Structure 1
Amino acid sequence: MFGQSSIKGTVTEQATSIPLPGVNVVVKGTTNGAATDFDGQFTIDAEEGDILVFSYVGYQQLEITYTGQSQLNVELIEDAAQLDEVVIIGYGTTTKKDATGSVESITQEDFTKGNIVTAENLISGRVSGVTVNTSGAPGSGTQIRIRGGSSINGSNDPLIIIDGLPISNDGVTGSRGVLASINPSDIDSFSVLKDASATAIYGSRASNGVIIIVTKKGKSTFSATFDAQVSFGSLTDNIDVFTGDEYRALVESQPINGTTLDTSLLGFQGDNTINTDWQDQIFRNTVSTQYNASLQGSLFNALPARFSFGYTDQQGAVKTSEFNRRNLSLALNPSMFDDHLKISLNANLAFEDNRFADAGQIGAAMRYDPTKPVYDPSSPFGGYYQHRNGNIVANGTTNPLASLEQRNNTGDANRFYGNLNFDYKFHFLPELKAVINLGFDETKSKGYDVSDRLVPTTDTDQLFKGSYRENNQIRKNALLDGYLNYKKDFETFTGELTAGYSYQKFENSGINGRNVRDPLSVDDIYADPDVVLIGFFARANATFLDKYLVTLTYRRDGTSRFSKDNQWGNFPAAAVAWNMSEEDFLKDSNTFSNLKLRASYGITGQQSISQKDIFLNRYRAGRGDSQYQFGNSTISSLIASEINPDLKWEETKTFEVGVDYGLFDNALSGSLNYFNKNSDDLLFEAAVADGTNFSNSVIQNIGKLNIQGIEFAINADVIKKEDLTLNFNFNATFLNREMKELALDQDVRTGGIAGGTGNNIQIHREGEAPNSFYVFKQLYDNSGNPIEGAYADLNGDNVINDDDRYVKENPGANANFGFQSSLYYKNFDFAFNLRANVGNYVYNNVKSSKAQYELLQDNAVLGNIPKSVLETGFQRTADVIISDIYVENASFLRMDNLTLGYTFSDITKNSGSIRVWGGVQNVFTLTNYSGLDPEVTDNDSDLTLTQGIDNVVYPRPRTVLVGANFKF
């Protein structure tokens, strides 16, 4: 044809720069076409002005006008509308269109970007109804909640499944958490199952929702990637206490209840100019690195494979805190017998090394005398200054920096996990397939806790108290799943049946080593009873006319946790849906591209109790000095443990209605859900009559809890052009929690706090939210200043006592919000994500237990206090600790991550790319809460906190990141 030119080019995937074989290239309006080869290359003849159409399954079709160039390199964008069609669910898959339950799928393109060390942070703020809360400790475990959980004393953690293997939420000695050993860069997608219809197929473990993690698989097309990242962290805030000079002035002028403080305790060896910032001494700026490399391609031209290696080294903001992880993974995905047999092998090795810093020293640094030096050359305690009364430490207080640097608390956890999956489609009946999944997860850990021999003691007979402890633990998790799936399409009807069996066994054993420097201590060797879970499950899906959908699910579960009479539970669910957009009155609509109504009801269970609460008769070892002599031998004592043979499942009944929508060719899409969860037979630790058991409390089934809420999500492609795309995701969740019933209608006190002895600040009460704060109502003078120890007589009996306490708010947010946005302009990319909580309250235990003038001197030593004491003028802790003045609104808006990158493409003949990027993590937090962090968690292995109680939080650093991604 006159004027035609030969055009050569390469087609790659925009997200990865990987060449795409088999892409169709056609001159629009003609039969003139070509296809890309193995390297994504093509050759076609065309004239100037011709429109070239590039199309490939799973990618957006692209049209380019030919302007005479001889080389044309094209990038195709994944078609999210098509990719989102496939959704991973329990024991199978469905399509977005055919899903009757509340399921959200998050793929690589949607993952949160930034300094992602643990896997769960990839979806932080991305899914409505899901909160992910992490402390500032390196590699720390994360608290994940789906729709507020469902329990009180039982677990509120979701069931997490990795490549079909449900894992235990119980960690091991030496590890930061159950997901800390997983390399986030190996993860391909998350599916979050929220309602009973979606989760009931996991029965006894599904009350708190299910998160299904799918790792990356092998592919036939060769590609290689290498990612490198360096981050620099620094703290932006600390507890505001008095400087050395301010403290000296305060001590010299401030009497406590009429008693003047001992000013001779100020300074050191006559030096009254010392100004030590003890918080600055124990904190540091951090440098952390991450490296990940992967190779994928076809082995022997027949076996799709993927291999990856990851390395993470993260410093903690508290000195001596470290997290190091090495990961190896292998995925093999062969297909045989004309694709009738598909095999998937996933094998992962993780080596996690930790050094745990004693986070209690954060509080110690806040309190330590700022007029004292860090070091004392004459000190017998390793050269560190210590408060001394002769040769022993006065009042038991120690130099916080010395306490960190003279203790080496380390843990190593080596983990192997993976699965082998066989998926066979019968030749004689291709609608029927059989699936067998074998999974295994084993973690071996070892921990050492060594204190220097020069660590001081308060014992007058022993100057030093060095110690050495060694701990070992092994956790095993073995799985066998098998099921049959039959799916048949008829003219107006599609039916699918799934039925199967599951067997899973958990083992746990170890040694809590003795203190080898304590002659009375002994090794605690333990082997917990094995936990076996057996399940029979079935699901039926029916679709009529592509419009009307029904799903029925049933699971019967057995557990060895309970006695024979209570071992088995039944968990049914049902759901219906109506694809309104397939009806004639909407089918040709230019506005509604998708509109589906859903309703579901089901029952799920909860059986996660600690090993000590299992129903079996057990015995525990007595004290090391609790022995008796038999002949020439000494016999150690055994003590019977408490049991409850009547213990059984918690059950959660969930009702939900929802709508999934898509507008303007799915440029806007999302969902709106209302749910109502009622948990019965709550697993709850409650008192028993003296003499009726081997303890005064035992786990029982008492109480009812209701959680209801509304979820909303919207995804928007604001701009979608060849050189410019802009999208955002917004989600919101509104929750209401209420205790409906407690045993004998009695309140249950909870929420232990520092300051005084035996104080609790929270309560479970019928008609109120769990963990509500239970406080006295503070009285104020005419100037608006709080009057110390003066509280309102709420019951009017002219006596201020415990009966005058009232419920003031609770730690749970009334609303959670997430907002993410990504912008792509030519080779530039920009992304950020925001989170917000509204209506959550925190009890500021730092102020309530430490911001009183009496704490300036504790017998023979002086101690610092927060400057907030100037706001109240409070003298004595005991008089004010239950005041509602310390219950603060902790609503916040937080920007977690911000990244900016630029991609250099076509750097090799195979169209490889290099993306360089920078970013900031923990960009800002807007809140009226006066403490360090409005998000208080109880999940960090370094520090145990009660929900909603701030008693010194491990601070989150602000981190600046730089990185590069190489793809070939």
Structure 2
Amino acid sequence: MLFGLSVFSLFAQKTTITGKITDEAGIPIPGANIVLKGTKTGAVTDFDGLYSINASPADVLVVTYIGYLKKEITVGSQKNINIQLQNDISKLDEVVVVGYGTQKRTDVTGAVARANIEAFKEAPNANVVQSLQGAVPGLNIGQVTSAGSTPSISIRGQVSLNGNQDVLIVLDGIQYNGSLSSINPNDIESIDVLKDVSSTAVYGAQAANGVILITTKGGKRNQKAKITVSSSYTTLQPTVDLRPMKRDEYIDYLNMQLYDFEFLAPDYTTPNPDYEGYFGNNSGVNYNPNLASPDDPLSFNDNDYDWWEEGTQNSFIRENLISAAGSSEKISYLISLGLTEQEGIIKNDNFSRKSIRVNLDADATDWWKIGIQTFGSFTKQDGDEPSLNRLGISSPLLVPYDENGDLIPTPSGTVELNPFLGSNTQDYERHDYFFANLYSEIQLPIKGLSYRLNFGNNYRIDKTYGSSIYGAGETGDAGKNVSFYKDYTIDNILKYARVFGKHDISATLLYGAIERKGESTNAYASGFDRLSLGYNDLSLGTIQEVGSSAFTETLNYQMARANYKFDNRYILTGTIRRDGFSGFAANQKTAYFPSGALGWIVSNESFMENADWLNNFKLRASYGTSGNQTSRYSSLARVGTRAAYVFGDGGTTAFGQELNSLENSDLRWEITTGLNVGADFSLFTSRLRGSVDVYRNITDDLLFSVRIPYLTGFSNIQTNVGKIKNSGVEVSLTGDIVRSDNFTWTATANFSTNKNEILELTGVDEDGDGVEDDLIQSGLFIGKSINAIYGYENDGIMQIGEENVVGGIRPGEYKIVDQNGDGEITQADDRTFLGKGDPDFRASLLNTFKYKNFSLSLFFNAIQGGSDSYIARNDNALFRNANTLYQNKISGTDWWSPQNPDGLNALYLGGGLNPGRYENRSFVRLQDVNLRYSFDKSLLESLSIDELSVFVSGKNLATWTDWRGWDPETGSGMSTGGRPVLQALSLGINLTF
């Protein structure tokens, strides 16, 4: 008994335990909670992550902090306990932006996804959207092939035929109509994607194509001032090195086309003894003997000029960024400066961006908060590229310059111009962007009630000047275009949020307005005796032209949203928005967009108490409508100006005005109605977490230009007809495969499908068979995808000696399948559905490995289609004529000839039907790789440095595909005008002090 009492006394004795709480990188965590398990005794870490607590050896310390996994440690004999917390990725985005506010992730009932931009922050991307490629299921981002450009963006498929196809971009709560190339990616804090109609309904008439919410960085409260410097240099080169043919291959290619001269009929395998080659001294062996005359530019010479090499350049991205952030008790701030310079693979494809951002937030009083998010961005894109297609087709036997070093306008002696004429210009292109969002937020005397006023303003100046001594038929031309755009947004937002026992209630009321204005002025002149002053003195031109334009459009809107949660288990969300737009018809100025959503947190039910393996499981369903507005003048009768009258014989021409379009006073919004069912889950102490969504969207009242009888004086009228369906599945899974003190391995897999189908078109049954007619000329078919491919079916290449081929096909030409078996090939009866351009599914896999101070991430992205999906025409059939007998082609292109009967591409000796050849574009791409080393904190503290890391990153390092040509994702095949996707290697450094 005495021994037991002494042991009990020992373990009951309280001592002071001290230590430091840090994250995985060793950075102190202020505000972490340390509690003695089973008690209310606790402590909170200070600014440096330090804590002190009285505990006995038998006590267990429970350490928690938002965004990190809970950790428990028994005190024992330890007096100093330093604890490192691990990120809980499932809670890092606990609060997400949902439009006009934020919500806890657990309370979200719609399909809202947060992009993992942290994983790609060091990728060599000049445009922020490039970091989203493959990162969010349902969000489809295209490739970038020119410096500083913005890739294509779509969410959950195409919902319109002629209406607006653009995703709505909201920057810091304000609609942003500028180019995304103007935004410094380093300024971005988070990007949230609203995918289902219930989530997008808060933006009403402009949200049918989905919404991307971009939130910029700010200073963290109670954060000491920090200065961060980042610098990187990236080299770029094409993912595939396709080049036009050099001299020897080019001459063989010319002779190949003349196989019926080079070899004797009928099998064309016996050499013709009289054939002297393409440059055969007017011997009659040429398709056009005149091309071999001594005075012709194509006469034999010793040139082997590499047009492609001379028209391209070493490509790079150079980026330097600096920012300062911090806060006091009342004010937080972020100031950033950025300089990004990029040169593309084609000469004069240059992009430069200088940016400055200032974000401020201040607590004016305990109940009044004010702030501003503002930036200026100045982009420079001077210089004109040489003609990419002409670089590919120019003969290596020709040269661009004469003996005096002057450009030869038409080296071939034909209508084909020198590709460098387009780049030998004076070109000035600048775009200046200004953005500001000022807000004031007041906590009203009623508890839980607040009012916020947002005033957002966009302003843009575009200047495009140019001159060319070769323009206007080599008489010289020059011009200036200056345009201005500005808009303002005013949002009045009233919010209420309270918890009454088991009842959690919140509501948002919105009243807002937008006005947009634009104007442009352009001046042009041609016929210059001297162009030494370029575009700076257009009065020297013989012919002078001026023009100007302007527009104003306005929108107003009201929105109400209510959220109700009972007992942290059942969630209800309801939204209704009313929109008005000046661009719509007189009878259809406004529309209403309602939506509703339900959520059930199953894991919080009593019958799930013993399911320790299930951390969180929520079911949700939503249904609602959003809209898509037409262009501002579509409903109006528009007037055009043209040369209309001549007064008297030999009189001067007078210009008149006439109607170009009919008015439609009932033109209205496109309406997209959508149903979304989804689930969010977290399993095995959050080792596996993810979400699944299934959706179906139907867009009705499509904006479409319908043909009308020409006796009206018009051929078309813009109206509302047709219906489109989009349906699909989206899955996102994240798992901590290995979770240890020194090594972690986290993997995120995304998967999505989208099926697009036209349900209705014009409703017209012209042939009287009781079935609505397809719009064949427009490529639109009931029951098929918008991207359905309709045409002749290719049945391979006809060989010499092959007989009884339908359609008068000759050897070397593509055979066409006789669909109706009538022995003839006709357009009406023998075309069929060949497939569609849509993929079957998209998938991606992000692997992140961390070992001590090293971090490695590998991101694979894939788009896949079957035998009849995600296909595109990749045909390089050659039609022999005077043009092809001097035009160059891509080296390695495989054509049929009697000596190459298995050639892939047809060779036509004259005209004929070309059904084309389609290939599958499926691919798997190693899209992003990043290796980072972070220096030890112990070393950095002695240097007064908070963080220091160096990194190496790569982009588009490998692509696995059966597609032939430039790139499957862009759909560029072996064409001479194809533009390469670029492979990048980057080296950089990040420093914070």
- TM-score range relative to shorter protein: 0.7 to 0.9
1:279 to 308, 319, 322: 308
User: CA 1:640/1:358 → structure 2, altered by over 3 Å: closer, same or farther?
Assistant: farther
Q: What amino acid is aligned across from residue 553 of structure 2 in structure 1?
A: V
CA contact (8 A) 2:357 2:376 kept: yes
Report how far residue 237 of structure 1 moved: 2.2
Instruction: Please say if 1:704 is aligned against 2:723.
Output: yes
Q: What secondary structure is seen at the aligned counterpart in 2 of 1:180?
A: helix
1:811-890 equivalence runs, <5 A: 811-839=837-865, 840-844=869-873, 847-848=876-877, 851-854=878-881, 857=884, 862-864=887-889, 867-870=893-896, 871-872=903-904, 874-876=906-908, 879=911, 882-885=914-917, 887-890=918-921
1:508 to 518, 527, 551: 518
- Corresponding residue of 2:705: 685
- Describe the superposition over 1:353-373 as per-residue Cα deviations: whole angstroms up to 9, x where unpaired: 1135447x2221221112223
- Corresponding residue of 2:465: 448
Instruction: Work out the CA distance in 2 between the residues paired with 1:245 and 1:817.
Output: 44
Instruction: Work out the CA distance in 2 between the residues paired with 1:586 and 1:244.
Output: 76
- Describe the superposition over 1:510-566 as per-residue Cα deviations: whole angstroms up to 9, x where unpaired: 1243244464452220102x2211111111212122222111111111111112201
Instruction: Work out the CA distance in 2 between the residues paired with 1:233 and 1:179.
Output: 21
Instruction: Work out the CA distance in 2 between the residues paired with 1:671 and 1:346.
Output: 33
Instruction: Please say if 1:585 is aligned against 2:585.
Output: no
Structure whose CA Rg is larger: 2
TM-score, normalised with respect to structure 2: 0.84
User: CA 1:269/1:763 → structure 2, altered by over 3 Å: closer, same or farther?
Assistant: closer
920-929 or 21-30, which deviates more = 21-30
User: CA 1:235/1:770 → structure 2, altered by over 3 Å: closer, same or farther?
Assistant: same
- Corresponding residue of 2:478: 468
Report how far residue 726 of structure 1 moved: 1.4
Instruction: Work out the CA distance in 1 between the residues paired with 2:391 and 2:748.
Output: 42
Instruction: Please say if 1:932 is aligned against 2:969.
Output: no
CA contact (8 A) 1:915 1:966 kept: yes
- Describe the superposition over 1:594-636 as per-residue Cα deviations: whole angstroms up to 9, x where unpaired: 1111111111110043x4x43234434446x98989xx99975
99-108 or 895-904, which deviates more = 99-108
Instruction: Please say if 1:326 is aligned against 2:354.
Output: yes
- Corresponding residue of 2:374: 347
741-750 or 643-652, which deviates more = 741-750
TM-score, normalised with respect to structure 1: 0.86
- Describe the superposition over 1:448-467 as per-residue Cα deviations: whole angstroms up to 9, x where unpaired: 2332x2x387x5xxxx2432
2:238 to 227, 235, 238: 235
Instruction: Work out the CA distance in 2 between the residues paired with 1:342 and 1:111.
Output: 33
Instruction: Please say if 1:597 is aligned against 2:619.
Output: yes
What percentage of residue pairs aligned between the two structures are identical?
28
- Corresponding residue of 2:978: 953
2:434 to 411, 416, 422: 416
CA contact (8 A) 2:128 2:180 kept: yes
User: CA 1:918/1:9 → structure 2, altered by over 3 Å: closer, same or farther?
Assistant: farther
User: CA 1:232/1:781 → structure 2, altered by over 3 Å: closer, same or farther?
Assistant: closer
- Describe the superposition over 1:337-356 as per-residue Cα deviations: whole angstroms up to 9, x where unpaired: 32x32223101111111135
- Corresponding residue of 2:792: 776
Instruction: Work out the CA distance in 1 between the residues paired with 2:232 and 2:410.
Output: 43
Instruction: Work out the CA distance in 2 between the residues paired with 1:12 and 1:929.
Output: 49
Instruction: Work out the CA distance in 2 between the residues paired with 1:747 and 1:409.
Output: 46
User: CA 1:847/1:410 → structure 2, altered by over 3 Å: closer, same or farther?
Assistant: farther
Q: What amino acid is aligned across from residue 549 of structure 2 in structure 1?
A: Y
Instruction: Please say if 1:305 is aligned against 2:294.
Output: no
User: Gapped runs of 5+ residues in structure 1?
Assistant: 172-177, 751-761, 938-944
- Corresponding residue of 1:808: 834
- Corresponding residue of 1:720: 739
Instruction: Please say if 1:532 is aligned against 2:551.
Output: no
Q: What secondary structure is seen at the aligned counterpart in 2 of 1:376?
A: coil
CA contact (8 A) 1:319 1:404 kept: no
- Describe the superposition over 1:637-659 as per-residue Cα deviations: whole angstroms up to 9, x where unpaired: 44434244232111111112111
Instruction: Work out the CA distance in 1 between the residues paired with 2:991 and 2:16.
Output: 31
Q: What secondary structure is seen at the aligned counterpart in 2 of 1:522?
A: strand
- Corresponding residue of 1:614: 634
277-286 or 183-192, which deviates more = 277-286
**How many corresponding residue pairs?**
908
Instruction: Please say if 1:663 is aligned against 2:673.
Output: no
Report how far residue 967 of structure 1 moved: 1.4
Instruction: Please say if 1:901 is aligned against 2:932.
Output: yes
User: CA 1:746/1:167 → structure 2, altered by over 3 Å: closer, same or farther?
Assistant: farther
CA contact (8 A) 1:485 1:499 kept: yes
241-250 or 870-879, which deviates more = 870-879
Q: What amino acid is aligned across from residue 346 of structure 2 in structure 1?
A: V
- Corresponding residue of 2:266: none
955-964 or 492-501, which deviates more = 492-501
Instruction: Work out the CA distance in 2 between the residues paired with 1:269 and 1:500.
Output: 71
Report how far residue 37 of structure 1 moved: 4.3
Q: What amino acid is aligned across from residue 891 of structure 1 in structure 2?
A: S
Instruction: Work out the CA distance in 1 between the residues paired with 2:834 and 2:945.
Output: 61
Q: What secondary structure is seen at the aligned counterpart in 2 of 1:333?
A: strand
CA contact (8 A) 2:407 2:421 kept: no
- Corresponding residue of 2:774: 747
Q: What secondary structure is seen at the aligned counterpart in 1 of 2:719?
A: strand
Report how far residue 193 of structure 1 moved: 0.9
Instruction: Work out the CA distance in 1 between the residues paired with 2:235 and 2:926.
Output: 18
Instruction: Work out the CA distance in 1 between the residues paired with 2:232 and 2:923.
Output: 29
Q: What secondary structure is seen at the aligned counterpart in 1 of 2:201?
A: helix
Q: What amino acid is aligned across from residue 466 of structure 1 in structure 2?
A: G
- Corresponding residue of 1:554: 576
User: CA 1:346/1:77 → structure 2, altered by over 3 Å: closer, same or farther?
Assistant: farther
772-781 or 227-236, which deviates more = 772-781
Report how far residue 796 of structure 1 moved: 3.5
CA contact (8 A) 1:149 1:157 kept: no
Q: What secondary structure is seen at the aligned counterpart in 2 of 1:800?
A: coil
Q: What amino acid is aligned across from residue 283 of structure 1 in structure 2?
A: T
CA contact (8 A) 1:228 1:291 kept: yes
Report how far residue 884 of structure 1 moved: 4.1
- Corresponding residue of 1:383: 406
- Corresponding residue of 1:941: none
Q: What secondary structure is seen at the aligned counterpart in 2 of 1:764?
A: coil
Instruction: Work out the CA distance in 2 between the residues paired with 1:66 and 1:900.
Output: 37
CA contact (8 A) 2:143 2:970 kept: no
- Describe the superposition over 1:853-893 as per-residue Cα deviations: whole angstroms up to 9, x where unpaired: 336546xx5544662334256344985674142x2111111
User: CA 1:7/1:847 → structure 2, altered by over 3 Å: closer, same or farther?
Assistant: farther
CA contact (8 A) 2:889 2:976 kept: no
CA contact (8 A) 2:848 2:858 kept: yes
- Describe the superposition over 1:768-811 as per-residue Cα deviations: whole angstroms up to 9, x where unpaired: 11132222112336879985153222134443221111121122
Q: What amino acid is aligned across from residue 364 of structure 1 in structure 2?
A: R
Q: What amino acid is aligned across from residue 903 of structure 1 in structure 2?
A: S
- Corresponding residue of 1:764: 780
Q: What amino acid is aligned across from residue 215 of structure 1 in structure 2?
A: T
Q: What amino acid is aligned across from residue 501 of structure 1 in structure 2?
A: Y
Instruction: Work out the CA distance in 2 between the residues paired with 1:167 and 1:893.
Output: 33
Q: What amino acid is aligned across from residue 963 of structure 1 in structure 2?
A: G
- Describe the superposition over 1:454-484 as per-residue Cα deviations: whole angstroms up to 9, x where unpaired: x387x5xxxx243222111111121011121
Q: What amino acid is aligned across from residue 651 of structure 1 in structure 2?
A: I
Q: What amino acid is aligned across from residue 416 of structure 1 in structure 2?
A: F
Q: What secondary structure is seen at the aligned counterpart in 2 of 1:429?
A: coil
Q: What amino acid is aligned across from residue 279 of structure 1 in structure 2?
A: W
Instruction: Please say if 1:429 is aligned against 2:429.
Output: no
Instruction: Kindly report the root-mean-square deviation, in angstroms, between the aligned alpha carbons of the 2 structures.
Output: 3.6
